[in-house]
Chain A
Amino acid sequence: MLGAVPRVTEKMRDISHRGSAVAGGDSALVRRLLEGDEGAFGRLVEAYQGRLVSLARAYVADSGTAEEVVQETWLAVLEGLARFEGRSTLKTWIFRILANRAKTRAVREKRSIPFSALEGAPDEPAVDPSRFGRSGAWVDPPRPWVEQTPENLILNREVLSRIEEALDRLPEGQKAVVLLRDVEGLGAEETCNILEISETNQRVLLHRGRSKIRRALEEYLARKG
């Protein structure tokens, strides 16, 4: 039973999420943009604007600056579009441009780049240690979210907005990694490239971020009864 769910490989991810903003895939989309199709650009903006601002916020001081960086990013995307070679997905390419712009801006503002070192306490447990006994076994185990099947949870707007809030509250590095990996569905390698962090660092940030969101959802569901 365990491990019966096949892991989504990097390649499958790429395929399944390619062209998620606009059907027809990246090369068709790029062609439409180059032809000046406003609708195609509008849909691209609707799909990524919010996530781009979130990621930019990891680097710059305030949301106004983040919005500026994102606006610069869109212009850079348009300027560079004719040279887009499809070696990565368009999505990855856009996020990479954003990260580069935001980094440049952070340097100019003399802010430190948040992912160069691991943030948070050196030992940040996934689960409150008081929930385990001295032997390391659960004394306060998680209650299965059974009455809410995964499908119901995912379709529940209230739950999704709690998850969104929990994501927003994560430290910037964790938020950036969870955003790229889990929300946008990019692979580990792409995420490391975009954020310029090591594979290990990426995995630790992902682990801490996911663990915190699980905790937030557990607390919410417990309160709800």
Chain B
Amino acid sequence: MLRCRDVTELTTEFLERRLPPARRMAFRLHVAMCRHCRAYLAQIRTVIRSLRSLPASVVAPEVHERLMTGFRKWREASGPSPA
């Protein structure tokens, strides 16, 4: 029988489908019966989805401009070539 503490250590292996079948079944059984672990797993899933929706950070204008200058130099040096 898995303990709550084990569940918190196995969440990633569970979500990554890395648990052997018997272990996976034990994990699912535990979570089905334990609302605290269900809450925990839901929180981890929320974290993952939130990370996925983090916006890209704003690029400083001078950095952006320097890179665009690099791009123009590259373009002049290579000449527009058909893909």
Interface contact B74-A34, CB-CB below 8 Å: no
- Where chain B touches its partner, the secondary structure class is helix
Cβ–Cβ contact B28 & A154, under 8 A = no
Chain A residues within 8 Å of B39, by CB? 141-145
What residue in chain A is nearest B76 (Cβ atoms)?
A36
A-B CB pair tally, cutoff 8 Å: 162
Choose among B4, B44, B52, B66 the residue with the greatest number of A CB atoms under 10 Å from its CB: B4
Closest B-chain residue to A34, C-beta based?
Answer: B83
From B13, B45, B48, B81, name the one whose CB has the most chain A CB atoms within 10 angstroms.
B48
Q: Note all chain A residues with C-beta closer than 8 A to B72.
A: 38
* Residue of B15, B47, B67, B75 touching A74 (CB-CB under 8 A): B67
CA distance A30 to B81 in the complex (A): 12
Which residue of A has the minimal Cβ distance to B79?
A36
Asked whether B51 lies within 8 Å of A213 as measured between CB atoms, the reply is yes
Contacts of A145 in B (CB 8 A): 39, 42-43, 46
* Number of interface residues, chain B, beta carbon within 8 A: 53
Interface readout for B1-42 with A: 1 if CB under 8 Å, 0 if not?
001111011011101111000000000100110001101101
A109 CA / B36 CA spacing, docked (Å): 48
Q: Are A214 and B43 in contact (CB under 8 A)?
A: yes
Does the CB pair A203–B16 fall under 8 Å? yes
Q: Which of A36-82 contact B (CB under 8 A)?
A: 36, 38, 41-42, 45-51, 67, 71, 74-75, 78-79, 82
Asked if A222 lies at the interface with its beta carbon under 8 angstroms from chain B, I say no
Interface: A218 (CB within 8 A):
yes
User: 15 A-B contacts, Cβ less than 8 Å apart?
Assistant: A41-B67, A46-B59, A75-B70, A138-B37, A141-B39, A141-B40, A144-B43, A145-B43, A160-B53, A178-B51, A206-B12, A207-B11, A210-B44, A211-B8, A217-B43
Q: 8 tightest A-B contacts by CB?
A: A136-B3, A50-B57, A141-B36, A207-B12, A182-B51, A31-B83, A136-B5, A144-B39
